[in-house]
């Protein structure tokens, strides 16, 4: 099948492309390379540098191609940044996304897998979180993800567009060839591993949360498991399945537990110091992925925190400078 992957040069997007190519799909990547890396894209994929915000560029792309499915991973993704610059997130996450949906309708592309987020839930009333839990985002990043999900619903009603929205919890880990290379880096595991290399202390944002050790608890999912969910989402769309699905392991780990596990992987005790809470950060996010299991056939195969950190550490040692671009 021919698949368009927006944001296919990013951390998760590049692994999705890697897996699609491995499964012999024809892949076109659309990315503006503001945060992604050209070297992260599998050489078998066609690469188009462009902006979803540009109607003419998107129209030209759809005129040149007939896509069986769109996998939409493009957009800004930093919670703290969204609290300072909400307009940036509405433009990249909602306005640009609506350009994509409009082009899909004009050109008869009727299937989309969307990279959503657990941020749509805000601070949940109870865990593990199911898809029926109230959606109360605490930051513009989550609000925009939810707004686009609602747009997907109405495009389904009005135009017959089929969608699978994947509400990620925390992506982690690496494959042999693809890992995390952000500038600036904000994700906990690569920051902790970099601290192990440099011998610097890690900032822990908030040590007074209502959790077992006072630090935030998150549900980590291996990036390859997330990529496999996209492929299963494509299969579900071919069966006319539409809906939202949580992707998590069902067990959470605190920041201090991540520090301890990374210390075991690297053989280094990693120093840390407490800092203030970041605005918009809930205390605990842990998923129930039973719906994804029953309807998509998805279960995480790399659920061990140690395995996720080990894969990230292996990639970091193999590519100490990250991607060359």
Quick one: pLDDT band at residue 142, thresholds 50, 70, 90?
very high
Strand-pairing partners, residue 87, are none
pLDDT of residue 186: 86
Quick one: pLDDT band at residue 62, thresholds 50, 70, 90?
very high
- Average pLDDT on 231-247 reads 97
Q: 88 burial class (0-12, 13-18, 19+ CB within 10 angstroms)?
A: middle
Task: Read off the DSSP letter of residue 39.
Answer: G
Cβ–Cβ under 8 Å, residues 227 and 16: yes
Q: Which residues have a Cβ under 8 Å from the Cβ of 17 and sit 6 or more positions away? A: 5, 8, 27, 29, 41, 42, 45
Question: Can you read off the two tokens belonging to residue 18?
Answer: 């890697």
Cβ–Cβ under 8 Å, residues 272 and 200: no
CA distance 141 to 118: 10
For the stretch 274-325, pLDDT in tens is 999 987 688 888 999 999 999 999 999 999 999 999 999 999 999 999 998 6
CA distance 49 to 22: 22
Question: Please, what's the b/e burial string for 216-242 (b: 16 or more CB within 10 A of its CB; e: otherwise)?
Answer: bbbbbbbbbbbbbbbbbbbebbeeeeb
pLDDT of residue 152: 98
For the stretch 78-133, pLDDT in tens is 888 999 999 999 999 999 999 999 999 999 999 999 999 999 999 888 999 999 99
Quick one: pLDDT band at residue 206, thresholds 50, 70, 90?
very high
CA distance 242 to 135: 19
CA distance 93 to 109: 20
The verdict on whether 220 is a catalytic residue reads: no
Write down the residue that tokens 């999900």 correspond to: 149
Q: Which domains does the chain have, with CATH numbers?
A: 2-172+220-247 (3.40.50.720), 188-218+250-318 (3.90.25.10)
Residue 156: CB atoms within 10 Å: 16
216: helix, coil or strand? coil
To the nearest 10°, the Cα dihedral for 255, 261, 262, 266? 160
pLDDT of residue 128: 95
CA distance 47 to 38: 8
Q: Which of 141, 168, 209, 253 is catalytic?
A: 141
């Amino acid at each position: 099948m021919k698949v368009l992957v927006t944001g296919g040069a990013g951390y998760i997007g590049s692994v999705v492309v890697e897996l699609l190519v491995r499964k012999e799909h024809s892949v076109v990547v659309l990315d503006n390379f503001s945060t992604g890396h050209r070297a992260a894209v599998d050489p078998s994929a066609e690469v188009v540098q462009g902006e979803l915000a540009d109607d003419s560029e998107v129209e030209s792309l759809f005129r040149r191609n007939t896509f069986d499915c769109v996998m939409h991973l493009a957009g800004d993704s930093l919670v703290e940044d969204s609290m300072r610059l909400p307009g940036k997130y509405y433009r990249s996450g909602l306005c640009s996304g609506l350009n994509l949906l409009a082009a899909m309708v004009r050109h008869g592309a009727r299937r989309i897998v969307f990279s959503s987020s657990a941020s749509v839930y805000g601070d949940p009333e109870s865990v593990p979180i199911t898809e029926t839990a109230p959606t109360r985002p605490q930051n513009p990043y989550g609000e925009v993800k939810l707004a686009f999900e609602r747009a997907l619903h109405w495009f389904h009603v009005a135009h017959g567009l089929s969608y699978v929205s994947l509400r990620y919890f925390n992506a982690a880990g690496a494959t042999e060839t693809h890992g995390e290379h952000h500038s600036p880096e904000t994700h906990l595991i690569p920051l902790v591993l970099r601290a192990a290399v440099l011998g610097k202390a890690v900032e822990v944002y908030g040590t007074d949360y209502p959790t077992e050790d006072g630090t935030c608890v998150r549900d980590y999912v291996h990036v390859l498991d997330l990529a496999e969910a996209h492929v299963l989402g494509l299969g579900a769309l071919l069966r006319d399945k539409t809906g939202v699905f949580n992707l998590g392991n069902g067990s959470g780990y605190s920041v201090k537990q991540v520090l301890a596990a990374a210390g075991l992987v690297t053989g280094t005790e990693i120093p840390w110091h407490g800092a203030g809470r970041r605005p918009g950060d809930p205390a605990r996010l842990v998923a129930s992925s039973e719906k994804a299991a029953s309807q998509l056939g998805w279960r995480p195969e790399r659920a061990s925190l140690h395995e996720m950190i080990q894969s990230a550490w292996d990639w970091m040692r193999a590519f100490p400078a990250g991607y060359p671009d």
